[in-house]
A and B are shown apart, each in its own frame.
Chain A
């Protein structure tokens, strides 16, 4: 199913804010193309913290399978898509 662009944009904005806070990088520009592997501070602990903050902010809960998927994802866009699907469900 297609996710409306407005939903994607909102999820991206909120997710970006979470990532900036957790990584303590206020001026970091984040787009759907931003890659986790390119950011040194986005280590495995930061990953856990970001995922948990996303769960809290969007009031969703990832399954163990989804957590595994999220750990494999490198681009912020993929994370935003998964979160958008879950919030629209």
Chain B
């Protein structure tokens, strides 16, 4: 079940479109489902181009279906059959006219041809691999030059048959051996290239099973590179990466406790009685689940507890000597006897995050149903009824995709812990001004550069509350703004005595003569009420002035969650130019010869030692 699903799509249908996917149902009803889901969406469509090395229609249909299910309106462009190379290098204008935001290269093992003979020399095998990788690199380069689009590229699945048997994995000319080397080269490219997203078709095909993956009759008859059921899995998996690329990512896992994180009921069985750790099979299963959640936390997904329990009992559970998770791994903790939907809303307020960014994990189908019904924005995966398989369902849901992992992601959990310390200091401070001074904040505010780019793009796509226009830009688009004389960009990083908050704010402005139009202004909710917005404005005005701008034009466009900044421009000293019926507004700030003096409790761009 995905976040933005409309209530009136029944739960049953939603379930069939979630892992484990109901292939026959989806195959038979996909056209109707796409029509009905699309009718509910009114926002501009995301432009996704599918360039194929084989027939793309089925996979395109499924990518569309799963994006629509997640509330992402989408328009798909398909290249002519097996023309991915030509479409990229010698576009006839059709792709250019479409102007894709996402390009998915649907290639697979059928596009590797001219395999070296078994007795080939090492030199000729290396040349074969080099040529193939080069051919793909020229596609990526051409697409990157022409479009500000994120590129999603499949790697290759292992061959369906092996003339060399097990030697295929060992011999230099073995197709399995060569495939692994090509995949290695693709992975290295992904490591070094922002905006390039590798889709691990190799893993997907392995977990699906190569015997079910390859369907030679469908290849001979229709040039389907994989079986029709595999198409559904590919569509689901690619859609999950596209969702992440446009910022629909999960940031929190909210966990039930009894029989979810440990076996047994702590209130009844006591600390000695719950099952976690080594010793028996059930206990080991729960330990592994805790280890998996801990790994999610380490990569930047926050953990929270929502349990019907006495608070003391719930906390005691994490003092169990074999508990992998400890109390301080959780960024929010609700243990009481209230209804779970209310507790989850409280967690959302505590963490200052939307329900759409949250996943709820509970072994009890009744609790899951109540939560899913009351909070449709929340993701509530069906984790089955076998505690040893909870990880499996959580992992396969595709909920935790991310286009890349930034340094900030890896530090996020500790940042939230620092926030708790800040809250404690705030409670101890006499007044708010003193508190801000005591934080000893310093900020770096400067135009977006290549180091800041991945996080800046991520922030633009993930921020919902302090987001004045709601416009989203891909990493490639932001890279384009950085290099363009028609745009001014700015990012802000905030540090205080408790640590580095990372990059927390981004502004993109478009120049039109002596006017600068603010297309995007976002700030992370982590630093609300810290005067960082005033620091950014000050930085913006200086930058604008240096660039000969006389007037800065700001826009507020009402979106689902950005009511917070409705009056932001007014409060910042802008004059109202225009207000529309839909409450969107346009504001102007005239830059005089004197820059306004404003007392901001942040030291901006301190000289580095």
Contacts and interface: CB of A to CB of B under 8 A. Distances in A.
B101 interface: no
Interface stretch (A4-12, A18-26, A31-39, A80-88): A18-26
A84 to B, nearest CB: 21
Contacts of A67: 217, 221
Given A64-B220, A64-B221, A67-B221, A49 B27 contact: yes
B28 A18 contact: yes
Contacts of A52: 27, 228
A48 interface: yes
B28 A21 contact: yes
B374 to A, nearest CB: 32
Contact of B35 (A21, A24, A49, A64): A24
Contacts of B58: 45
Classify the interface of chain B: helix, strand, loop or mixed.
helix
B346 interface: no
A30 interface: no
Interface residues of A, number: 13
B24 A22 contact: no
Contacts of B90: none
Nearest to B35: A24
Nearest to A53: B28
B578 interface: no
Interface residues of B, number: 14
Nearest to B55: A45
Interface string A36-62: 000000000100110011001000000
A23 B222 CA distance: 19
B31 A22 contact: yes
Contact of A21 (B32, B220, B222): B32
B598 interface: no
Interface in B459-507: none
Contacts, number: 27
A23 B35 CA distance: 11
B24 A23 contact: no
Contacts of A48: 222
B31 A24 contact: yes
B24 A56 contact: yes
A23 B221 contact: no
B58 to A, nearest CB: 8
Contacts of A21: 28-29, 32
Interface in B18-50: 24, 27-29, 31-32, 35
A12 B271 CA distance: 63
B24 A64 contact: no
Interface string B46-70: 0000000000011000000000000
B532 to A, nearest CB: 51
Contact of B27 (A23, A24, A53, A64): A53
Contacts of A18: 28
Contacts of B217: 64, 67
Interface string B1-30: 000000000000000000000001001110
A22 B25 CA distance: 11
Nearest to B217: A64
A45 B221 CA distance: 12
A53 B57 CA distance: 17
Interface of A: 18, 21-24, 45, 48-49, 52-53, 56, 64, 67
18 contacts: A21-B28, A22-B28, A23-B31, A24-B31, A24-B32, A45-B57, A45-B58, A48-B222, A49-B27, A49-B28, A52-B27, A53-B28, A56-B24, A56-B27, A64-B217, A64-B220, A64-B221, A67-B221
The 5 A-B pairs with the shortest beta carbon distances in the complex, nearest first, are A24-B31, A24-B32, A21-B28, A45-B57, A53-B28
Given A21-B29, A24-B31, A67-B221, 20 more contacts: A18-B28, A21-B28, A21-B32, A22-B28, A22-B31, A23-B31, A24-B32, A24-B35, A45-B58, A48-B222, A49-B27, A49-B28, A52-B27, A52-B228, A53-B28, A56-B27, A64-B217, A64-B220, A64-B221, A67-B217
